[in-house]
A and B are shown apart, each in its own frame.
Chain A
Amino acid sequence: MTHTQNRRQLQGLPVRLALAALTLAALPRAARAADAKSPANAAPPSAADFARLEREVADQRQLIIQMLTIEQERYNFLLKLLQSGGQAPQGATIPTTPLPPHDPLGGAPPAAAEPEASAVKEKESPAVAVVTGRVQTRAGTLKDAYVYLDQVRGHSAHGQTLEIKQKDKQFWPRVAVVQRGTSVVFPNLDAIYHNVFSTSGRNAFDLGAYRAGETPRSVVLGTPGVVDVFCNIHSRMSASILVLPSAVYAKVGADGSFRLENVPVGPRKLAVWSPTTKPAQQKVEVTAAGAQVSFTVDEQAATSHVNKLGQPYGSYKE
């Protein structure tokens, strides 16, 4: 081989190097070892060369896994960002620990997070504070009231479940707050039939009739808003569920006080909800030290409801 030939061969080297790298990354170790011992390699590398190569291959495999994981987590982060309306979702940070718990390629355990990535995490993590305050009514007493962070988008609460029992021709509890995506299950403990349904917008559902001993039926409430739940057989059975986009809510105490945790720092809007009062909202500037806010709500007269066919229940039959 001449010097010119050597130069031409070196010019085609990047392609060959890339091919070799891909081969190394893809082929099992045993195959590569067999290849190294093949007659085509007239002078096989030494044991030290193999040891070094194995380390390098392991590093490269780890890198591939790392990059795949990072891409997956970036995708997840963007999804959460989308769901939170452009705001960094609470508790969600740009991925910093790249490796999954299980290495699909059977590689070495994941390396520790890089210092740069940790810095990113600290930078992106939203600051939260506690908002306290009081809710009072103009007349009467307040019960089953909740304060929540309004106008915020959060992620769906997959896997969370709330149980609302049907007992003695009533729902227990009659008022509840859940995060979007929560599954609400309605066991019937009465010996008689009940038919749970709601006609509340996108959360409308009809679970049909069933009684004690039958498998409780459930519904996933996926859209924020108030869900009025009734029985199609017993008109006096009713429950109200407030579906929220995030888990930032708190129940108002019997004395009207509340403590709302994990409120992101900044200008926020808080709201108070109760089935027996008119809704109320208030803007508040939440600082790192927290904030205090007071609500005064008006009573709301109860209204009648129709059955699942959109008809009045008709004569008193209970």
Chain B
Amino acid sequence: MRPRALALVTLALPLSLGWAAPRAARAQPIPDAPPPPEQADEAPEAAADPREEIVELRQRIDQLETRLDQTQQIATLRRPIVSVGGYVDFGFFVAGGNGVGVIQDEGPNRVFPRYANQYSWVFLGDLLAPMVNSRGEPASLGNFPGVNRFDSVDSDGAPTFIVNEVNLTLNAALARNALATASVDFMPRSGIQEFSLGDFMEVDIAQLEWEPFASGKTSVFVGKFDSVLGIEYRDRKSTQRFGVTPSLIARYTTGTPLGLKVRSKLGDDERVVVAAAVTNGSSSIEAFHFYDEIDTNSGKTVSGRVSVRPFPLDLQVGLSGSWGPQDHAIDNTNAMWFVGADLLAHIGSLDIKGQYLKGGAPGLTAGQAYDPRHVPYGLALHHGGYLELDWMATPLVGLLARGDVRDADVWLGNASSLGGGSRLYLTRNWRATAGVRIVVNEHIVAKAEYLHNGEYDGIPQIPDDVFTSSLVLSY
């Protein structure tokens, strides 16, 4: 019996203790649990107030957060003020005919014999119509004698690969409200022929943009900056342009003049935007007939634009214009002017862009001296414009359709003077463009376009259609 009794006691006692223990535990309010008061007095560490631990932990958290803030401030201060960006624009194009957008009107079968005794050379068509890239460079300017030109591509119509542009852009935050920007384009080209100058570079933008007010709605630009004419200047670079080539009137509106510019967005929703600039000459592109990097006259060109976004449409309508002494003129006698209207609308993934422009400059007038180094061209831009639809059909693929027209006369010299004028370009040109855009990722975009150039108003058709493509690698 002893072993059996011992076994029962051995089992029963702990069980009874165990049975009693939960009752004791359950009798205590939780978590102000077990130890009786006298034990708590004897072991103060064990009964430490959790709130003290909480306070200590909170202090440690505060210290850590302070250190985190300090580290973030150090990281911010060490952040370089200069950011480097840019892109490579690589392309391939095929141009119709010899890649030249004009034909010479000469010989017994002249189309416009009335100009025969007024100008030494008469050209029909548009020199810049067979564009191959976002710079607006034509496939070729031809090999006409006696005409100085900068034929930067000079392909003579041969299919060719081309590095359209290598761009380097530096942005430096000189202050929270002041940004210095320098954008330089490098163009690798052939340099073995008479009018091909080889590789060249161009300072595209060199400006300081200052936001004088905390709202950031007003910017003051100093230096070489974007135009205020129209809207096409906003996407003139190949990284910004939906398609490949610019419009037929981009030559007048997307140049980067030097001077001073102010732009202000008015209203809570910035529905009114006003911009004004004082510059050396017009906003024509640098490779065109009309452009002054350094002014040769004392007068300055003033330009401005006002745009509104009528509520509630995502539509912007603008009016813009410029006026000032002619580019390349050595005095302020004659003025060159442009005036136009523009439209920009967003409907979902569809962008609608349109622009209309008129302009003029008298060129040399009777009695003005002819200085071969500084000869202002005459311009009669009767009308020019385009309507472009850019649609991102999917996030990967976009489609472009554009219609252009340019009706203009450009001449050099004074036709009414004794010796007559030097040359005349008669343009009655329309263009239809279809394009596709493939966005591989945010850094890689491939684009292709077909441009059909047509002539009207008696000017013979010129075979200068272009297929061109562009692979833009931005960084």
Contacts and interface: CB of A to CB of B under 8 A. Distances in A.
Contact of B178 (A60, A77, A114, A312): A312
B134 interface: no
Given A41-B3, A192-B392, A17 B10 contact: yes
B107 interface: no
A244 interface: no
Contact of A82 (B27, B57, B207): B57
B14 interface: yes
Interface of A: 1, 9, 13, 16-18, 20-21, 24-25, 41-43, 45, 49, 53, 56-57, 59-60, 62-63, 66-67, 70, 74, 77-78, 81-82, 85-86, 94-96, 98, 114, 116-117, 119-120, 168-169, 190-193, 201-202, 204, 209, 211-214, 236, 301-306, 309-312, 314-318
A312 B173 contact: yes
Contacts of B331: none
Given A85-B58, A192-B392, 8 more contacts: A24-B15, A63-B25, A117-B29, A117-B30, A202-B68, A301-B215, A309-B83, A309-B171
B10 A16 contact: yes
B214 A301 contact: yes
A59 B270 CA distance: 75
B234 A316 contact: yes
A218 B327 CA distance: 54
A173 to B, nearest CB: 17
A245 B214 CA distance: 31
15 contacts: A9-B6, A17-B13, A41-B3, A42-B4, A43-B1, A63-B18, A66-B26, A81-B51, A81-B54, A94-B31, A191-B349, A202-B65, A302-B268, A306-B173, A316-B219
A217 B29 CA distance: 47
A169 B348 CA distance: 10
A98 B29 CA distance: 12
Contacts of A70: 30-31
A77 B31 contact: yes
Contact of B263 (A21, A192, A310, A316): A316
Contacts of B395: 191-192, 211-214
Contacts of B207: 315
A116 B29 contact: yes
Q: For chain B, which range describes its interface: under 10, 10 to 19, 20 to 34, or 35 or more residues?
A: 35 or more
A81 B221 CA distance: 56
Of all A-B residue pairs in the complex, the 7 with the closest CB atoms, nearest first, are: A304-B216, A21-B14, A191-B392, A63-B22, A311-B173, A43-B4, A312-B179
A315 B65 contact: no
Contacts of A211: 395, 439
Contacts, number: 177
A302 B270 CA distance: 12
A77 B215 CA distance: 47
Given A60-B18, A63-B21, A74-B30, A20 B10 contact: yes
Contacts of B22: 59-60, 62-63, 66
Given A82-B57, A192-B392, A304-B214, A314 B209 contact: yes
B168 to A, nearest CB: 16
Contacts of A120: 29-30
B383 interface: no
A315 B226 contact: yes
Given A117-B30, A120-B29, A318-B234, A310 B394 contact: no
Nearest to A302: B215
A57 B79 CA distance: 67
B323 to A, nearest CB: 23
Contacts of A45: 7-8, 11
Among B13, B221, B226, the most chain A Cβ lie within 10 Å of the Cβ of B13
Contact of B209 (A13, A85, A201, A312): A312
Chief secondary structure at chain A's binding surface: loop
A53 B15 contact: yes
B76 interface: yes
B181 interface: yes
Contacts of A201: 69, 72
Contacts of A119: 29
B76 A310 contact: yes
Contact of B176 (A168, A236, A312): A312
A32 to B, nearest CB: 10
A74 B173 contact: no
Among B17, B54, B207, B211, the most chain A Cβ lie within 10 Å of the Cβ of B54
Among A25, A81, A168, A312, the most chain B Cβ lie within 10 Å of the Cβ of A312
B211 A312 contact: yes
Contact of B214 (A13, A17, A213, A303): A303
Contacts of B3: 41-43
A56 B29 contact: no
B217 interface: yes
Contacts of B263: 316
Contacts of A66: 22, 25-26
B2 interface: yes
B177 interface: yes
Contacts of B79: 309-310
Contact of B13 (A13, A236, A305): A13
B211 A311 contact: no
B21 to A, nearest CB: 7
B145 interface: no
Contacts of B396: 213
Contacts of A117: 26, 29-30
Nearest to A22: B14
A76 to B, nearest CB: 11
B50 interface: yes
A63 B26 CA distance: 9
Nearest to A111: B26
A18 to B, nearest CB: 7
Interface in B230-265: 234-235, 240, 263
B177 A312 contact: yes
Contacts of B10: 13, 16-17, 20
A306 B19 contact: no
B40 interface: no
A302 B50 CA distance: 46
B51 to A, nearest CB: 6
